[in-house]
Structure formats: structure tokens, C-alpha cells
Amino acid sequence: MDLQSHTHDLQARQFDSIFLGGGTPSLFPSNELSQLFEYLFKHKLIADHAEITIEANPGTIEHSKFSDYKTMGINRVSLGVQSLQNDKLKILGRIHNAQNVYNAVNELTHAGFDNFNIDLMHGLPDQSVDDALFDLREALALNPTHLSWYQLTLEPNTAFAVKPPKLPDEDLLFTIEQQGKALIKSAGFTQYETSAYCKDTKYQARHNLNYWQFGDYIGIGAGAHGKITLPETGIIRRHWKRKNPKLYMQELQFPYGSSDIATDERPYEFMLNALRLQHGFSIRQFEQTTGLSIDMIVPQLNKAVTRKLLTRESEYFIPTELGQRFLNDLLHIFLP
């Protein structure tokens, strides 16, 4: 089992959150997934009240599985919806349709899940403001506890990158963002990260928060990444697994490469995610997770404050509205 190769990394700690995703884990046979959780619970590797999420594609999920997931200890579902308009889903190459989404939400609520996220995109090809707001209204009407609403980006080595579609211009994107945020707020959701919204702080995605706060995590499975701080040395090490499943299985005893994060790279690595949070970060949090003194980046912090990209409130540094809008400019200040 891949998990056993991380025995040293666990350092007698328990998992506070588990996220089954990065693909279509709902295709994994329930009985085999159940064996994994039986092992984790038996060896007391999961903390009490841990957040355990499974990512599900509405077009591939066998809805009877939701009850199985609930029984084995999974307590949160993340649905990869992207849009609730069939023409947009077709353009995105998704295999599900809007009705699949409505059916999936009905099934998971009947299975007893009271905490679920909807992933939704905006800035889609030929998308109008009305299109974007329609998707939001439909998604919010499904009564999720968490919403991930983010702009479509053209990733390298994808069909869209090879043949880019016509996307909304900057002015239209800004209008979609402003009106969309107002609609989400009116529905009782609070934004706590660049693309994350929740009904109550207890529904903030704990697993994602750990990433955004530069916490440690273990990656299991083909193509997975992890980050571990070694207490005896203070070294912060990233590791990764083979992407090819066949090679991954062949090299299960040694399925990853690793590299240490250099001291001068840690501030940027920390800021890369921490500055996505609406509440920013504290001096204590920076020092505890990077092992560095805040004094190391005082010039950069002062520069960001002078440019009105950051503001300081007591021990916290918080991105301003301008800093949130021009996040890349803010991050550039912290490049090594």
C-alpha cells in the first residue's frame, strides 16, 4: 500500500482532512475504497471530526454509491458541475448534462450528506453576463454549503490551448465577476478565498485551507504531490508520484521523486497560496510554517503596503481589494 511508504512522514500525526480527487474517484469500486478507510480507522490515522471529501463527476457517479460513501466515513462531496447549461458543457467537453447534476444532488442529500461543494466556472467561451448569472442562480438553488466559482483558464497541453476558443473580454469578465459576487453574497455566502465561498465558517474547505496556509500534506496515488516538514531538521520537502499509472504500480516501493524548498524560495511558496485568502496571514503563521523570521521579508512587505496591495492590521497582513484584483503583481514582489 502506497500509504505505508509515508510512515515516516506521518510523524505520529493523524489526518485532519482527506480529499479523494484529482480525477474521477467515484469510478473506484466502493468495496475497495471501503477497505482503505477500514485500514485508516483501524490504525487510528484519522482524527475525530476529520473532513473527508470525495470528488464526483455528475456524469459518471453511480448514485447508489452515495450511501456507501456515507457508511464508510466520507462526510463531504465535491461535485464538478462547471456549468448548468448543456451547450456550455458540450463546449467544455464534459460528459454530463444539467439533469445529471440535479439528480446527483437529490441522491446525495437523500443519502444523508448535509455538506457538499459545487465547482462552477465562469468566463466560458461565448458566455454572456446572463449566462454566468443563470449558472450561479441554478447552483445556489441546489442549496450547497460551499461554492467554488472560478474563471476558466487555458492550460498547456489541452485542446483549448491548441485551438483557443473565443473567451469574454476583460471588461465582460469584470462585469461577470462583480455581478456574480453580489449574487453569491445576497444568497448568504461569504467569500474567504479568491474562488471559495461558504455559508458558514464551519463549511470552509479544511483540506484546501491547509494548502493555502502552507500546511503539510501527503499525496497518494499516480501523479499525486505532497509537502512535508521534517521536524528534526526543519527541511521542507516536496514529493511527487509517477503520473503514468502503470509505472506507478511497477515502482510502488519507490514511487516518487522529491526536492527540498530552498530557504530563499520559501517566502514566495508561502505567499503563492496565503495571499489568496481574504483574511491574509499572520506573522506567527508565516514564521511557524516557513521556519523563517518575518524580518527576512520586511522590505517586500513594506513595498506591497506602499503600493496599496497589502494592508497591515495588528499581526496580520491582508490583501487589499487592489491586491486581490492584481494578485500576480502582488506575488511578483516576493519572488526570490
> How would you class 160 by CB atoms within 10 Å of its CB: exposed for 0-12, middle for 13-18, buried for 19 or more?
middle
Give the pLDDT band (50/70/90) at residue 231: confident
Q: Looking at residues 117-123, what average pLDDT do you find?
A: 96
- For residue 102, pLDDT over 80 is answered with yes
Q: What is the pLDDT of residues 149-161, one digit of tens each?
A: 999 987 776 666 5
More reliable by pLDDT, 59 or 218: 218
Give the pLDDT band (50/70/90) at residue 75: very high
More reliable by pLDDT, 186 or 220: 186
- Which contiguous run of DSSP H or E holds residue 229? strand 225-229
Mean pLDDT of the chain, nearest integer: 91
Distance between CA atoms of residues 184 and 200, nearest Å: 13
Q: Looking at residues 319-332, what average pLDDT do you find?
A: 95
Longest dimension (CA), the chain: 57
Q: What is the pLDDT of residues 238-292, one digit of tens each?
A: 999 888 888 888 877 666 789 999 999 999 999 999 999 999 999 999 999 999 9
> pLDDT at position 253, please?
66
> pLDDT at position 14, please?
87
> pLDDT at position 115, please?
97
Q: What is the pLDDT of residues 125-137, one digit of tens each?
A: 989 999 999 999 9
Lowest mean pLDDT across 40-49, 191-200, 300-309: 40-49
From the list 124, 134, 121, 120, the residue with the least C-alpha distance to 168 is 124
Instruction: Say what the pTM is.
Output: 0.91
Do 59 and 101 contact (CB within 8 A), yes or no? no
